[in-house]
Amino acid sequence: MNCLNTYLIIGAALFSIGLLGVLQRRNLIGMLIAVELMLNGANVNFMAFNRFLAPEPTVGQIITLFVMGLAAAEAAIGLSIILALFRRLHSINIERAQQLRG
Amino acid sequence: MELRCRSHSQTRAEQVVGLKNVSQEGIFMNPLATDSLAQIAFWIVVGLTFGGASLAVFPRNILYNVLGLALALAGVAGLYLYLGSFFIALMQLLIYVGAITISIVFAIMLSRPLHLEVPRREVPKVAMAIAASLVFFLGAVGVCFKTSWVPAPDRSADWSVTAIGHMLLTRYDLVFEVISLVLLVAIIGAVVTAGFTRRLSS
């Protein structure tokens, strides 16, 4: 519990589960959820290094806040793109979104 | 500001000391018991996180995925508590569980009907995805164990929110401005993207 490697492994496992979700899902919202999981794995890593190694504990927390803000922006943009795609294609399955295919 | 910082850290230290005293003086609680209790709670939080994460990825019903995501994010907030930052745990609950999950639920409501049958997954694709993520996980764990992590020589112990705010307005003010700009552009972009297509389609 008070060991850096525990948190690093938890972060890596969260990131891997998110990667699995991005690779196997075909639902765009499902992929967005998996990307959120990946961002959280990275955040756990930042906070673990901040707790155990960093010279100043504020820096890791600021980075984590920054990533959270980026995740919020990404969710807003992604969801609006999903809505636009659904209105155009009547589906959010990414295998239907092939209009740009050459 | 210096004084306030110091008082914050002092009260924090006093709280910790007081907690230890209580646990030492308590009749039923000796320090070993509180330690093992904290350990058990930690592993429960980790279990919640991974249960939520697998619930967010594996079921094919998108509503279960969102609920699993909320569970996993709450578990990560608990991990932040164990990592010593109450503020970040609170922000995690507020931003992720409170805002992002709800907006995903809105997108689900607005996009596809839930009663439609979801197509089955192809087995080779799932197998390849599992193999790829397993390779990444094993590589990351190998890096964790191969590296000898060295803590910084002199580490400050100022975990207060005041220090974070001070840093955000002095040394890391670029971060503050950039994230504000990114959020503004994202909001305008989201409105434009969702609004223009509606005008085109109707």
User: What CATH code is carried by the domain that includes residue A36?
Assistant: 1.10.287.3510
B175 within a domain of the structure (yes/no): no
Q: How far away is chain A from the Cα of B143, in angstroms, using its nearest Cα?
A: 10
Residue A102 is assigned to a structural domain of this protein: no
Report the pLDDT value the prediction gives residue B67, as an integer from 0 to 100.
93
| A83 is a domain residue | yes
Q: What is the pLDDT along chain B (202 residues), one digit of tens a residue?
A: 444 444 444 444 444 444 444 444 445 557 788 888 989 999 999 999 999 999 999 988 888 999 999 999 999 999 999 998 899 999 999 999 999 999 899 888 887 666 666 677 788 888 999 999 999 999 999 999 998 888 888 888 788 889 999 999 999 999 999 999 999 999 999 988 887 655 655 5
Which contiguous run of DSSP H or E holds residue B37? Answer: helix B31-57
Lookup result for tokens 């019903």: B61
Q: pLDDT value at position A97?
A: 73
B54, B67, B88, B154: best to mutate for the A interface, most A CBs within 10 A: B88
Question: Residue B116 has what pLDDT?
Answer: 64
Tell me the C-alpha distance between B38 and B82, whole Å.
9
Give the number of domains in chain A.
1
Q: Report how far Cα B33 is from the mean position of its chain's Cα atoms.
A: 28
Whole-complex ipTM: 0.90
- Phi, psi of A93, deg, nearest 5: -75, 125
> Least CA distance to B132: which residue of chain A?
A20
Test mutation, B161, B193, B200, B202, chain A, max A CBs within 10 A: B193
Q: How many domains does chain B have?
A: 1
- Measure in Å the smallest separation between the Cα of A17 and chain B Cα atoms: 7
The Cα–Cα gap between B13 and B128 comes to 50
Whole-number Å distance between alpha carbons of B106 and A71: 17
B202 DSSP 8-state letter: -
CATH of the domain at B76: 1.20.120.1200
| B99 located within any domain | yes
Other C-beta atoms within 10 Å of A62: how many?
20
The whole-number average pLDDT for the span A58-82 is: 91
In a domain, A101, yes or no: no
Q: Note whether residue B27 is domain-resident.
A: yes
Nearest CA in chain A to B186: A73
Three-state DSSP at A93 gives strand
Query: Could you tell me the two tokens for A18?
Result: 């998110």
A80 in any annotated domain: yes
Q: Look at residue A55 in the predicted model and tell me its pLDDT.
A: 86
Q: Is residue A73 part of a domain?
A: yes
Residue A45 lies in a domain: yes
Question: Which token pair is B166?
Answer: 């001070």
Q: In which domain, by residue range, is A79 found?
A: 4-96
Return the number of CB contacts < 8 Å for A and B: 233
List the single residue in A21, A27, A93 with the smallest CB-CB distance to B56. A21
**Separation CA A27–CA A39 (nearest Å):** 19
A93 has which bridge partners?
A27
Q: Does residue B64 form part of some domain?
A: yes
| Inside any domain, residue B19 | yes
Surface-to-core class of residue A14, CB atoms within 10 Å of its CB (0-12 exposed, 13-18 middle, 19+ buried): buried
Structure tokens at A14: 């969260």
Distance from CA of B86 to the nearest CA of A (A): 11
Residues B179, A66: C-beta atoms closer than 8 Å: yes
